[in-house]
Every structure is written in C-alpha cells, then in structure tokens.
C-alpha cells in the first residue's frame, strides 16, 4: 500500500481530538472539584457547629445538675445567660429542653414565650428517647436552608437530663458554592465554545467518509451489497474505504451461501414437533427452536449461553463430556406439583473431520401423554382385575362346595347361594359403574337440566337418609332459608349426594354426627358434608376421587363399595360446571366440598 504522508495521517487528526478531550476533561475535573468543595465546606460548617454545641452542652449540663439555693438565680435564668454567651451570626437559635420535653431556655429573643412550654418537635423527642444526636435540613419560610441538630444532655451517671436543639443558617455555605459554580459555569461555557469550533473543523475531515461507510454498513445489514463507499483520499480512512468495498464483494458471496443454508435450517427447525438445542464446544446453548422453549417452559433469553446440563436439569448426574459419549436416550422429568412433564432426550455430537468436537445437538420429545396413558392403562387393568378376581374367587369356592354336595345341606345351601348372589350383584354394580364412567369419558352422558330450588332438593335427600339410616348417627343442618335456584340434572345430582352421604354414614362411628352446610361464594353454591369418621391421611386426600381408590380397601370392600362412586361424582359435578374436592384430618373426619353455579331468586318469573 502507498505510504501516508504525515499531514494526511489520521493519527494527527486523532491527536487533535485527544487535545479537545483533554480540554473537556478539565471541565469535568472542575465540576468534581466544585462538588468536593461543597461537601468540604458543608462538613466544616457542621463540625464547627458541633464543637460549639459540645461546649454549650457541657455548660448547660453543669447548670442543670448544680444544686441551687433560694438566693441564687433560677435554672432558667442561668441557662439564658449561658446561651447568650454562644450567640453568633450562623446560629439562629439554641434551645434547652429537659427530659420531660419542657423548654427551659432559648437564645432567640423572639421565642422567649416558648420557655416553660412542652416541645412538640419529633427530632427533640427522638433525641431524648434514643439518647443519640440527630440532624436534618429543611427550608424555612424565606426559602433559606436551615440545619437543625439535637444533642442529648447526659449526666455522668448516664441519666438523660434533656437535649439541646439548635438551628443554624447553612444557606451561607450554599451561597458561596453558587458563586463558585457561576465561575465554573462561565469557564465551562468558554471551553465548550472553543471545543465546538475546533470539533467542527476536525470533524469535517473525518466524519464524512466515516458516515459514508456507516451508511454502507447499514445497507449491507439490509442485504444491499450493490452500493460502494466513495474514496476521498489516500490516508488511512481512504485505504479503509477501499478495503471496505472489497469486503462488500466477499460478504455478498458469503451471504448468499449462508442465507440459503439458514433458510433450510430455519425451515427444518420451525416445522419440527420436537425441541432442538445446539451447543458450542464448551457445552453452552447457542440455539434452541420454539418447540424446545415450549417443552422446557423457558424463554430464549434465559437459555442462551447457559450450560446445557443446567438447562436440562442434569447437573447432578451428567457432565458435558458425559453427554458427548452418551449413546442412549434419557428421560427428563420436568414435573411440577400441578402437572407432570416427561421428555425423552437424545444427544448427537457435532464433530469436524479431524475429530474435534464443536458441540452437541439435543433432540427433545414430549413423552408425557404416552407415559400417562401407559400408566393409567396399567393401573386400570390391575384395578379391574383385582376387583373382579375377589368376587369370582369367592363364587368359585362356594360353587365348588355346592357341586361337592353342599346343595343337599338345607342349612349351608341357602347361605352359599346368598353369598354367590351378593358377589354377583357386586360385580354387576362394578360393571355398571365402569359403563357410566366410559360414557362420561366419551361425552355420551346426557345431562337433562331443569331449574331446581336447591334448599328443598337438598333437604329432601337428607330427610330420606335420616329416615332410613340404621346406625345411631346425628344429622346437623346449617342451610340458609333463602331460595337459591340452580339448573341441574336432579337424577345426576341425587346420585352425587347419595354417594357422599353413603360414604359419610359408612365411616361414621356410633353416636357420631354428620353436618350439612351451604353457603354462597362468588356466584357459586358451596355445599359441605362433614363426617366424624376415621379421616384420610394428608398425602392421600387428593387421590380419593381416582378410580378404584380406597382409604381402607378391606373395610370398603366389606361394605360393598366399588371404589368408583367419588370418581363418578367428580365427573358429574364437572359436567354441571362445578368443582368437587375434599379436606380431611386423619382420625378426626372428612369434609367433602362441591360447588354449583346458581342464579338469583327467579321466583318472579314463575308467578
């Protein structure tokens, strides 16, 4: 390249700019000096006042602890004399306040009427109570700043005798700083004017080609590579312009190739249902597609540049080197308390031809639904098999006994046949309940709604159970007298309430109580049915609405339950737009809640 002459060298131009920056730095130093000077003057003023207050505090303390005779002057007169000796132009007023907040003396002639009165200033109260000095600054009626300071008066034994309250005119300090700032402002204005003139002259030789290159860079960012930078000279900027034009040609070729590959990759990643993460050679995430963000429930900003082991929650089990050598897919559990989320992750290594590892690609597949379906299928088959095996085994045993000759025994035969009939009816109930749940799952159950006055409807069901119950269980009702109309299927809701009350009766002890309550909350009727049974362990309360779940399997089966009643109740309540749940304390009883949407009293529409 051609050598650049000295006077055309960009270094000379940068030296000029550097000199201007030095000039500007001097102004900044001046501002810093003014700020520090202000702090110093303010602190010196406060230190001076504090030293004088220490002397006043000593003299006042001596007067307050001094024993006096009737011939001697009163403490107020003595304190007034002490304060008069410390008057100065910068101290507006000094007050002496005793421990009972009574003003004993004031140095201000205009405030002598305050002597003997109780001080109501917060700073005085705080100083006496906390036994520590306090200070603050406020603006008075003349718009002058006043510095207020209190200093407690403490006797040698530690007893607080009172406090000194001082007001000092600190406005003089700020007046001095205003004069200094005015001088600095004039100097700064002159420096800025000179800097502006020199800056315009220097900028004309540098800013124009640089602006041209900036516009070219912006055009390149938009994908326009046809524009060229104008070369103004042969200095460093001129040579940079030539290099910039050469770079434009090369970038145009590379951009076309890169854009083609980018579109292919973006199309593949955007149309994938699986999540994809890519890392650099250090294991930090550099790319993640939208399905990956959705599966991990994170934002792109929180993932990029983080270690992949941290993003996938594998810190405790795997390192990045382990993932490089991992051959089999692994299962990631992102389940929370509210919902489950299982992902299957497969890893592949990005390598150069030399074998150097550039990173890892992780493919995430949502396996939650499949795992949930498999688990529910296994549980359902196991539960149905278990529920059917018990009565079938019993029936086979009794039928074998009958076949072996027990049918001829007039005492045993009726008993055996009765047991066989009971188990058969139990299996029929189980199958019917399964059919009901199957129809609900397939949305084939018809809901025949009609407007019902719920208080009458609920009381009628309770009356039926109260008249037919066999054990000694007391019913308690807490139902409102107002009318509340709900649109429900009476048959379906009767079955729900029958299931809940039947369970409450089954598990209630002799002499127990079942309480029925109804309240209104947020546009819903809330029904509570409370028993005093054995209760449910805390960890199992949320499971009682699962199919075939029983707290006490042996006792429930002996009572004839199928384990599907509450599951059916939940489906029916949900179909009515309500919600059902339970609360229980083991050994103390269970409360079943369910809600139903209701309408205001529409009695006028039926008249």
Of 285, 280, 283, residue with least CA distance to 298: 285
Collect all residues with Cβ–Cβ distance below 8 Å to 77 and sequence separation of at least 6. none
pLDDT for 51 equals 84
pLDDT for 136 equals 86
Please check the confidence at residue 44 and state whether its pLDDT lies above 50. yes
- Under the banding of pLDDT at 50, 70 and 90, the label for residue 364 is confident
State which of 175, 196, 222 marks the end of a domain.
Answer: 175
pLDDT for 517 equals 92
The tens digit of pLDDT for each residue in 370-401 reads: 766 666 566 666 666 666 666 677 777 777 77
Beta-bridged to residue 363, according to DSSP, are 276, 346
> By the 8 A CB rule, do 532 and 512 touch?
yes
Beta-bridged to residue 451, according to DSSP, are 487
Do 358 and 383 belong to one domain? no
Task: Provide the CA 321 distance to its chain's centre, in angstroms.
Answer: 35
If DSSP codes are grouped into helix, strand and coil, which group holds residue 43? helix
The tens digit of pLDDT for each residue in 175-184 reads: 888 888 788 7
> By the 8 A CB rule, do 583 and 593 touch?
yes
In a domain, 131, yes or no: yes
In a domain, 221, yes or no: no
If DSSP codes are grouped into helix, strand and coil, which group holds residue 600? coil
The tens digit of pLDDT for each residue in 90-135 reads: 787 888 888 888 888 888 787 788 888 888 888 888 888 888 888 8
DSSP 543: G
Do 280 and 346 belong to one domain? yes
Q: Give, in degrees to the nearest 5, the angle at Cα 397 between 394 and 398.
A: 90
Cα→Cα distances 596→150, 260, 441, 460, 591, Å = 66, 59, 21, 18, 17
> By the 8 A CB rule, do 476 and 515 touch?
yes
For the chain, the straight-line distance linking the first and the last C-alpha, in angstroms and rounded, comes to: 105
- Under the banding of pLDDT at 50, 70 and 90, the label for residue 201 is low
pLDDT for 556 equals 47
pLDDT for 6 equals 53
> By the 8 A CB rule, do 580 and 573 touch?
yes
Do 359 and 377 belong to one domain? no
Q: 578 is written with which tokens?
A: 């309500």
DSSP 541: G
> By the 8 A CB rule, do 277 and 292 touch?
yes
Selected residue with higher pLDDT from 426 and 144: 144
In a domain, 478, yes or no: yes
The tens digit of pLDDT for each residue in 480-510 reads: 888 888 888 888 888 888 888 888 888 888 8
The tens digit of pLDDT for each residue in 323-357 reads: 888 888 888 877 776 667 788 888 888 887 777 88
Do 50 and 138 belong to one domain? yes
Task: Provide the CA 263 distance to its chain's centre, in angstroms.
Answer: 38
Looking at the chain, the whole-number percentage of residues with pLDDT higher than 90 is: 2
Collect all residues with Cβ–Cβ distance below 8 Å to 361 and sequence separation of at least 6. 276, 277, 278, 279, 347, 348, 349, 350
**Phi and psi, residue 92, nearest 5°:** -75, -40
Beta-bridged to residue 582, according to DSSP, are 592
> Beta-strand (E) ranges in 57-107?
91-98, 103-106
Across the chain, mean pLDDT equals 77
In a domain, 244, yes or no: no
Mean pLDDT of the 354-366 span: 84
In a domain, 135, yes or no: yes
pLDDT for 606 equals 41
- CA dist., res. 443 & res. 445, Å (int): 6
Packing angle, helices 412-441 and 565-575, rounded to 10: 30
Collect all residues with Cβ–Cβ distance below 8 Å to 412 and sequence separation of at least 6. 401, 406
In a domain, 339, yes or no: yes
Mean pLDDT of the 472-478 span: 88
Look at the chain and count its residues. Answer: 607
Of 136, 135, 133, residue with least CA distance to 160: 133
Of 180, 165, 170, 245, residue with least CA distance to 213: 245
Do 22 and 141 belong to one domain? yes
In a domain, 50, yes or no: yes
Do 360 and 424 belong to one domain? no
pLDDT for 529 equals 92
Check the CA dihedral 211-212-215-216 and report its sign. negative
Print burial letters for 289-324: b (CB count within 10 Å at least 16), e (below 16): bebbbebbeeeeeebeeebbbebbebeeeeebeebb
Which structural domain, as residue segments, surrounds residue 473?
Answer: 447-597
pLDDT for 516 equals 93
Do 297 and 388 belong to one domain? no
Please check the confidence at residue 14 and state whether its pLDDT lies above 60. no
Mean pLDDT of the 470-480 span: 85
pLDDT for 429 equals 63
The tens digit of pLDDT for each residue in 63-76 reads: 777 776 666 677 77
Number of structural domains (the chain) is 4
Looking at the chain, the whole-number percentage of residues with pLDDT higher than 70 is: 79
Is the pTM above the cut of 0.85?
no
Return the residue matching tokens 């002397």: 55
State which of 337, 366, 395 marks the end of a domain.
Answer: 366
State which of 146, 175, 204 marks the end of a domain.
Answer: 175
If DSSP codes are grouped into helix, strand and coil, which group holds residue 533? coil
If DSSP codes are grouped into helix, strand and coil, which group holds residue 561? coil
Q: Strand 513-521 to strand 474-478: parallel, antiparallel, or no bridges (unpaired)?
A: parallel
- CA dist., res. 590 & res. 584, Å (int): 4
Do 589 and 453 belong to one domain? yes
Packing angle, helices 10-65 and 171-221, rounded to 10: 150
Do 390 and 463 belong to one domain? no
Gyration radius from the chain CA atoms? 45
If DSSP codes are grouped into helix, strand and coil, which group holds residue 460? helix
Do 466 and 587 belong to one domain? yes
Do 488 and 550 belong to one domain? yes
Packing angle, helices 454-468 and 490-507, rounded to 10: 40
Least confident of 21-35, 132-146, 381-395, 462-476: 381-395
Do 26 and 168 belong to one domain? yes
In a domain, 187, yes or no: no
């Amino acid at each position: 390249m051609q050598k650049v002459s000295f006077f055309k060298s960009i270094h000379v131009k940068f030296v000029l700019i550097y000199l201007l920056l030095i000039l500007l730095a001097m102004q900044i130093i001046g501002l810093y000096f003014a700020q520090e000077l202000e702090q110093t003057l303010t602190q010196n003023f406060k230190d001076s006042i504090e030293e004088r207050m220490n002397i006043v505090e000593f003299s006042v303390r001596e007067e307050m602890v001094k024993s006096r005779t009737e011939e001697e002057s009163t403490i107020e007169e003595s304190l007034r004399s002490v304060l008069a000796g410390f008057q100065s132009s910068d101290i507006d007023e000094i007050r002496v306040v005793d421990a009972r907040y009574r003003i004993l003396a004031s140095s201000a002639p205009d405030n002598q009427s305050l002597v003997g009165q109780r001080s109501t200033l917060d700073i005085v109260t705080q100083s006496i109570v906390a036994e520590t000095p306090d200070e603050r600054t406020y603006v008075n009626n003349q718009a002058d700043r006043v510095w207020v300071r209190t200093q407690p008066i403490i006797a040698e034994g530690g007893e607080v005798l009172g406090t000194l309250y001082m007001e000092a005119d600190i406005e003089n300090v700020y007046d001095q700083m205003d004069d200094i700032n005015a001088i600095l402002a004039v100097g700064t204005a002159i420096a800025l004017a000179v800097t502006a003139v020199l800056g315009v002259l220097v900028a004309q030789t540098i800013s124009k080609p640089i602006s041209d290159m900036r516009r070219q860079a912006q055009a390149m960012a938009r994908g326009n590579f046809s524009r060229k930078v104008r070369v103004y000279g042969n200095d460093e900027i001129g040579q940079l312009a030539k290099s910039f034009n050469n770079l434009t040609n090369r970038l145009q070729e590379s951009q076309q190739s890169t854009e083609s590959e980018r579109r292919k990759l973006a199309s593949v990643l955007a149309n994938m249902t699986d999540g994809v993460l890519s890392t650099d050679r250090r294991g930090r995430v550099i790319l993640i597609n939208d399905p990956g963000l959705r599966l991990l429930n994170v934002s792109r900003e929180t993932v990029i540049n983080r270690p992949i082991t941290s993003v996938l929650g594998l810190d405790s089990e795997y390192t990045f080197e382990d993932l490089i050598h991992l051959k089999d897919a692994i299962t990631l559990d992102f389940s929370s308390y509210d919902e489950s989320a299982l992902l299957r992750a497969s890893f592949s290594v990005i390598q150069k031809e030399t074998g150097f590892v550039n990173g890892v690609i992780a493919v995430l597949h949502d396996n939650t639904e499949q795992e949930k379906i498999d688990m529910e299928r296994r549980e359902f088959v196991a539960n149905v098999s278990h529920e059917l095996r018990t009565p079938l085994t019993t029936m086979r045993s009794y039928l074998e006994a009958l076949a072996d000759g027990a049918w001829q025994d007039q005492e045993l035969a009726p008993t055996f046949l009765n047991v066989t009939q009971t188990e058969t009816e139990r299996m029929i109930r189980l199958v019917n309940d399964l059919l009901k749940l199957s129809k609900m799952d397939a949305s084939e159950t018809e809901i025949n709604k009609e407007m019902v006055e719920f208080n009458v409807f609920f009381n009628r069901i309770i009356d039926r159970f109260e008249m037919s119950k066999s054990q000694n269980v007391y019913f308690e009702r807490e139902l409102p007298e107002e009318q509340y109309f709900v649109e429900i299927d009476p048959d379906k809701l009767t079955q729900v309430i029958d299931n809940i009350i039947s369970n409450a009766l089954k598990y209630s002890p002799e002499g127990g109580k079942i309480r029925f309550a109804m309240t209104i909350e947020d546009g819903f009727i809330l029904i509570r049915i409370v028993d005093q049974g054995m209760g449910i362990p805390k960890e199992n309360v949320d499971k009682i609405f699962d199919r075939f779940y029983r707290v006490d399997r042996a006792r429930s089966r002996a009572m004839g339950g199928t384990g599907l009643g509450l599951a059916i109740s939940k489906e029916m309540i949900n179909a009515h737009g309500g919600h059902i749940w339970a609360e229980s304390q083991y050994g103390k009883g269970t409360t079943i809640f369910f809600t139903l949407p209701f309408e205001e009293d529409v009695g006028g529409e039926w008249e």
